[in-house]
Structure 1
Amino acid sequence: KEAERAGQPFVNQRWLGGMLTNFKTIRQSIKRLDEITELAATGALERRGKKEATQLRREQEKLQRSLGGIRRMESLPDALFVIDVGHEKLAVDEARKLGIPVVAVVDTNCSPDAIDYVVPGNDDAMRAIQLYAVGMADAVIEGKDSVPAVVVGEDEFVELDEAGNPRKKAARGARKPAPVRARKAPPRRRVAPIK
């Protein structure tokens, strides 16, 4: 619920192996979920045979349960927030392999070694989990609101000043060319004569 409020992808069921490391295949499964949902929305599902319609509904339910939270995720995340590190070890391992920073609630029964940003606390109580989720969602919303709205091209870099506002670009002709460094030849190695 809090991830949806913040507009962030989430997984609240079992973490499927390869959700991050095999994201291309996961995207194909999400595309299949979208296709079945489209069939149900247009009524084409009802025009199919009873057996086929039932199979498609079951497939849709299964895919929705597993992938519904990451349905709108177009690329790999910039960070991963995990509640129960012991239970979601696979998610943490995948994020570590890809260099994605992990923010996690770590209880006394789990090791904080694989976590980049540790939040010490109880990961079992429902009220505590709700508190962490609300705090993370609020932080994400606040972070999104603090980013200045700048229209940029696909590969354009925008430099920000100390206040976080975009700096104005200098005219192209006003830049000095970078100085050319002379490269030194590597030192010659002396080889001892063979006797």
Structure 2
Amino acid sequence: MTKRYWNIILEEMMEAGVHFGHGTRKWNPKMSPYISAKRKGIHITNLIRTARFLSESCDLVFDAASGGKQFLIVGTKKKAADSVARAAIRARCHYVNKKWLGGMLTNWYTTKTRLQKFRDLRMQQKTGRFHSFPKKDAALLKRQLAQLETYLGGIKYMKGLPDIVIIVDQQEEYTALRECITLEIPTICLIDTNSDPDLADISIPANDDAIASIRLILNKLVFAICEGRSRYIRNS
């Protein structure tokens, strides 16, 4: 794996609140090696370790993007949803930011069928075919399209299983993480002090509740993906 410099600055992470964990009563003992202190009833994450694992993650996604690999970014809670969509669009990644539908990866055949229906409905809408249906039928199709757009809009161009999945908040996206583990899809996961660091392939200890923290971590990963994609295009 290529070692590179990703401009990961401790002061910048502190300003974004990356180091703030959960309350000391709400923690996973496995996170002990990643915690540097307790302050006013809150665990403080060791930012040196955060920087190390974030750098390793950037190296991994850079190498993967350089090889033309595909990424899926998952973060469905309200605080993460907008950041996930913006980061994914910027790096031309697939994303899920509304709701993880159980079996989205492990039952890929069903997901692929839903995606095809989604594409068909979008095409019918674009070509004006909805106007040729009775009003009641057209209204039903529009509702179906809106629902599919909400849940599958971020993966509408996904042709197969992703090569790497980036997950914001292990606790919130546990179902998605378990599906990746089942399918042996490599994962990079933001983990707070209440998480299990052993589940993902690379766990980045960080505040997964603060928007600024989530955005900073995603921006670093997305920059590395974009750099990798640029290399892939140059070498193609």
TM-score (norm 1): 0.74
Aligned residue number for residue 226 of structure 2: 141
Q: Offset at 1:126?
A: 1.1
1:65 aligns with one of 150, 157, 162: 150
Give the structure with the larger strand fraction. 2
Give unpaired runs (5+ residues) of structure 1.
151-195
Aligned residue number for residue 4 of structure 1: 89
Give the structure with the larger helix fraction. 2
Q: Offset at 1:136?
A: 1.5
Q: Offset at 1:11?
A: 0.4
Q: Offset at 1:130?
A: 1.4
Rounded Cα–Cα distance in structure 2 between residues aligned with 1:59 and 1:133? 31
Say whether residues 1:93 and 2:178 are aligned partners.
yes
Rounded Cα–Cα distance in structure 1 between residues aligned with 2:231 and 2:126? 37
Partner AA of 1:60 in structure 2: L
| Number of corresponding residues | 150
Partner AA of 1:149 in structure 2: N
Aligned residue number for residue 44 of structure 1: 129
1:19 aligns with one of 104, 113, 134: 104
Partner AA of 2:129 in structure 1: A
Partner SS state of residue 10, structure 1? strand
The aligned runs of 1:42-191 (5 Å cut-off) are 42-147=127-232, 149-150=235-236
Q: Deviations over 1:120-155 (max 9, x none)?
A: 1010111111112211211111112223524xxxxx
Q: Offset at 1:46?
A: 1.6
Partner AA of 1:17 in structure 2: G
* RMSD of aligned alpha carbons: 1.1
Q: Deviations over 1:25-69 (max 9, x none)?
A: 101101101111111111110221111111111110110111111
Partner AA of 2:209 in structure 1: D
How many percent of aligned residue pairs carry the same amino acid?
Answer: 35
Rounded Cα–Cα distance in structure 2 between residues aligned with 1:50 and 1:27? 29
Aligned residue number for residue 77 of structure 2: none
Q: Offset at 1:113?
A: 1.7
Higher Rg of the two aligned structures: 1
The higher-RCO structure (CA 8 Å, 6+ apart) is 2
Q: Which runs of 4+ in 1 moved over 4 A?
A: none
Aligned residue number for residue 115 of structure 2: 30
Give unpaired runs (5+ residues) of structure 2.
1-85
Rounded Cα–Cα distance in structure 2 between residues aligned with 1:149 and 1:23? 31
Partner AA of 1:139 in structure 2: A
Rounded Cα–Cα distance in structure 1 between residues aligned with 2:158 and 2:219? 21
Rounded Cα–Cα distance in structure 2 between residues aligned with 1:75 and 1:134? 25
Q: Offset at 1:80?
A: 0.6
Aligned residue number for residue 55 of structure 2: none
